[in-house]
Structure formats: C-alpha cells, structure tokens
C-alpha cells in the first residue's frame, strides 16, 4: 500500500466533543469539520492543476447542499454544480453568483430552465433533445448560458449499480455509440446555441479509476472526431466526479494526486494529438466533503436474540436510522463506527464483541451489521459514524415523522456553529390541512 494511504484521512471527533455537542444540540447530529473540508478541496485543486493547468473544480452539491458548506466550497475556488432549481436556489442563498453555477439534471422542467436562464447561470449540462429545444425557446431574446452536452460513453464502472451512470443503458445523456451525441451537437449548433463542450459521469464511489479513465478517453476521442468531421473546437471537457472515499476497513481509494495524474494523462495524449486544448473540469462531491463529516447517535436498547446464522445476535438500537442515513438500505453501504462512553471511564475495554446497530424506524432498519465494539456498550453511550459528510444530510427524510437532524460546523479556530437546525414539528405539519367536512 502506498505510504500516503497509511495515514488517517477521515475527520474523527474527540470523545469530549461528542458528549458536549450531543448535550447541547441533541442527537442524531451531523458534524462537519471546516478545516478538513477546506484542506480536501485545496489538495484536490492543486493535484488537478498540477497535471492540467487550465483546470476547474466544481463542487457537486447533491452530496451536501447545506448553505454553509456550499459557501466554503465557493470560497475555496470551486464552481457549484446543481441538479435542481432547489439546489440552485441554495447556491444563490449561500452567496454564490449565478455565473459560478452549472445546472445538471436528466429531466429539467421548463420552469427550472427558465429560472436558470433568467438568473444568468454560467452553464447548462444538456441531457436530451427536448431540452435543447426548450433552452432555445427560453433563451430567445436573452443571453443563453454556455451549453455542455452530456454523453453516455458506454462505460460500466465497478461500483453499485444504483450509482452507475456511464453505461450505454442509462437515463443520463446522449449515447455516443448510436450517434445521438453527434446529433445533439448538430441540433444545438443549428439553433446557434453556444455549445462549448462535452461532459460525462460514469458513476460514484470509485476506488478503481479505470472506468473514469475510460470515460475520459471516450470523451476526448469524441471531441477529436467532432473537430475532424464538423470543425467543432471543444473549449470545455468535463470528466465528472466519482473518486471514492475511505468508508470502511481497507477499502481505500488511491490518492487524489495519483487519481488526477492517471485520469488526465491518457486524455491529454488524445487532445494534444488533435491540437485541442480545452479547459478540463471535474465535479466531485463525496470526495470533497464525505470524509469531513460524522454522525452522532445515542445508544438506546441493547438486546441479544437467537440467530439461526450466528447462534445469537446482539442488537444495539440508536436514536436515528433510515431517515437520517438511507444509504445502508439503498446500497448496502458500510461505515466505520466508533464508541464513546456516555460518561468518561477510567478503564478502557480493549476487547470487542460483534453488534448489529439498528435504527428506530418501522423497518428492519439495520444500519451497520457486524460492527465490533466494546462488550460494555450500554444505553446512554454514543456512537460516532465516520464519513457521513456526503449523502446523509442531503438524503434525510421525515419518515415515521422523525425530525431531520441538525448540522454543526466545527470552525477552524476550534469553536462550533449551528449551520442547520433540526426540523420542528410545527414546520413538519405546516404544509398539511384536514378538510373541514372530514
């Protein structure tokens, strides 16, 4: 294993802060470390620009669209990638100018497109033929944003099928192999729309960069072909995101420096051979914020039951679950789970036993199976789950009428700020009404 992978890359909250924060703000509780996130972005930008100076890093807000985190990403030099009008409005509320935002989405509504054009968004990533026509209509008489055409390069990555997006059979973008990508370019150019380049995204949580490299090569070859056939000069080539993070065990990604080098070198060879020199763009989300966040839970019931598979199983129930982290149920996602005693203990247990950490929802709701924790975990203790900065807060729900958790930002000076409070029951029910005749 390379030396730079032997060090701990994940933010871990000290036990005294686990107790302090949960005492003040309750649990479940999301916690994100500002300095850690800024360092991640800075390192990624440096690694990318070192191998391709005309590069641009875009933060994919679908990973975490908390306003304070969007502002941090923008302050660190990222453009902001949004996948809906709601995410775009979040970026604007975070103080990001519209001309620093890119709009994604496979089924953008006319309202979303009209709002983006009206606000002066920097770029729209075009996904289908109908969208080209809609953009043409909505931008008539107005300044049209730059357009980047999303391509499906026919690459099937080694990741969960539910987060694979670059294969031929996908809802995203224009297929290269069947000629749809070329037709999309020609249609947009026939309307005199400002097409500046191409985009692909093959999938998420990629520990092996091969699929991303293959997707980037396909994108570069397509750009070269469009120059040869139609004289189109690609100004922007967006190779998407996807670099994984260290969720659990030994499943670690390569370093961001090695990733950027491996990704860019084959793309660069193709582009330089065809005298093309576009801006290269990456749009990571998880790899910029995922390892910077943790989730804190309070332990409730600890229960041992008979198990045909194991002889017996010990369930450790926490005060959250499916509504604050649906990823284990959706993808079978694994996490690293740490224990914090409810009160400081002089004797630290060095031995461990196996637990299944379960949530409190009306589902099986097995959050984390086969977790090794001290044998004396009891009600009132806390669990800290690492790498929850991405796709936890943004996917949280009110299932079973539970309140979505608050988010705390650990500041660079060691203080902390509440940047997203938990739901109130009044807000939860404010949009509902009961007909008077019921």
Catalytic residues: 362
Q: What is the DSSP string of 128-164?
A: SHHHHHHHHHHTTTSPPPEEEEEEE-----SS-GGGB
Q: Is 77 left (phi over 0), alpha (psi -120 to 50) or beta?
A: left
CB 336 within 8 A of CB 387: yes
Taking Cα atoms as reference points, which of 185, 116, 111 lies closest to residue 145?
A: 116
CA distance 63 to 21: 23
Query: Which CA distances in Å does 420 have to 12, 41, 203, 405?
Result: 20, 22, 29, 8
Give the torsion through C-alpha atoms of 308, 310, 313, 318, to 10 deg: -110
Query: Hey, is 339 helix, strand or coil?
Result: strand
CA distance 287 to 47: 13
Query: Which CA distances in Å does 182 have to 49, 188, 196, 227, 229?
Result: 30, 10, 14, 11, 10
Give the torsion through C-alpha atoms of 10, 324, 166, 210, to 10 deg: 20
Give the containing element (helix H, strand E) for 305.
Answer: strand 293-307
Query: Hey, is 176 helix, strand or coil?
Result: coil
CA distance 18 to 196: 48
Q: What is the DSSP string of 213-274?
A: HHHHHHHHHHHHHHHHHH-----EEE----B----STT--PPPHHHHHHHHHHHHHHHHHHT
CB 194 within 8 A of CB 144: yes
């Amino acid at each position: 294993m390379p030396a730079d992978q032997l060090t701990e890359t994940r933010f871990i909250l000290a036990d005294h802060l686990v107790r302090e924060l949960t005492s003040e703000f309750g649990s479940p509780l999301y916690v994100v470390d500002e300095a850690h996130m800024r360092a991640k972005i800075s390192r990624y930008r440096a690694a990318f620009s070192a191998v391709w100076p005309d590069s641009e890093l875009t933060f994919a807000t679908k990973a975490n669209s908390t306003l304070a985190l969007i502002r941090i990403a923008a302050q660190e030099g990222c453009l902001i990638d949004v996948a809906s009008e709601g995410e775009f409005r979040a970026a604007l509320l975070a103080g990001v100018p519209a001309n620093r935002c890119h709009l994604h989405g496979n089924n953008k509504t006319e309202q979303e497109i009209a709002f983006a054009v009206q606000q002066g968004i920097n770029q729209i990533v075009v996904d289908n033929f109908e969208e080209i026509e809609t953009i043409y209509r909505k931008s008539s008489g107005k300044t049209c944003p730059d357009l980047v055409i999303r391509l499906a390069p026919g690459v099937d990555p080694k990741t969960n099928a539910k987060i694979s997006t670059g294969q031929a059979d996908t809802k995203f973008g224009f297929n290269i192999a069947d000629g749809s990508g070329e037709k999309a370019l020609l249609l947009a150019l026939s309307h005199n729309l400002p097409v500046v380049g191409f985009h692909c995204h093959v999938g998420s949580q990629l520990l092996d960069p091969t699929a991303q490299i293959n997707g980037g090569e396909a994108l570069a070859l397509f750009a070269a072909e469009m120059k040869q056939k139609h004289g189109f000069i690609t100004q922007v080539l967006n190779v998407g995101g996807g670099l994984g993070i260290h969720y659990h065990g030994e499943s670690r990604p390569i370093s961001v420096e090695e990733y950027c080098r491996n990704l860019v070198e084959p793309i660069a060879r193709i582009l330089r051979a065809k005298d093309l020199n576009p801006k290269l763009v990456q749009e990571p989300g998880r790899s910029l914020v995922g390892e910077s966040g943790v989730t804190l839970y309070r332990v409730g019931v600890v229960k041992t039951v008979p198990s045909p598979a194991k002889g017996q199983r010990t369930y450790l129930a926490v005060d959250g679950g499916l509504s604050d982290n649906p990823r284990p149920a959706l993808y079978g996602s694994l996490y690293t789970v740490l224990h914090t005693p409810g009160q400081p203990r002089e004797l630290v247990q060095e031995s461990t036993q196996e637990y299944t950490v379960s949530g409190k929802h009306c589902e099986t709701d097995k959050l984390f199976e086969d977790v090794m924790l001290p044998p004396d975990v009891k009600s009132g203790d806390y669990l800290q789950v690492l790498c929850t900065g991405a796709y936890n807060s943004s996917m949280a729900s009110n299932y079973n009428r539970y309140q979505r958790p608050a988010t705390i930002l650990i500041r660079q000076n060691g203080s902390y700020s509440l940047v997203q409070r938990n739901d109130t029951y009044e807000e939860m029910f404010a949009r509902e009404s009961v007909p008077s005749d019921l």
